[in-house]
Amino acid sequence: MSNHKIYVTIKTTQIDNINWGAENILEGKDTLRYSLDDSEFIIKWSEGVNTPPSVLAIPSEDKSELMSHSEALTLMATPEWTDPNPPA
């Protein structure tokens, strides 16, 4: 079964510019996944709906290109997003 969602990373400095709950973003501030250095977070919305307006308003230098589910999984597996030596 495929995951039909669109993903984007956004710099944490832009977190208060997202219109949480008023748009079709599928999480809230309390459920975000952050990079290990807390400089970015990732959000998602359903494929086939418009990109949330508050995401569109983020400057391009502060967000990634849109990603598919598999691209987001690949990113999350990198050392910047997943500790290669998690605590025991």
The answer, yes or no, to whether residue 2 has pLDDT greater than 60, is no
Specify the pTM: 0.89
Residue 61: predicted pLDDT: 98
Residue 22: predicted pLDDT: 77
Rounded Cα distance between 46 and 72, Å, is 14
Domain boundaries, the chain: 5-76
Per-residue pLDDT tens over the stretch 56-73: 999 999 999 999 999 999
Per-residue pLDDT tens over the stretch 11-24: 999 999 999 887 88
Closest residue by Cα to residue 56 from 70, 66, 46: 66
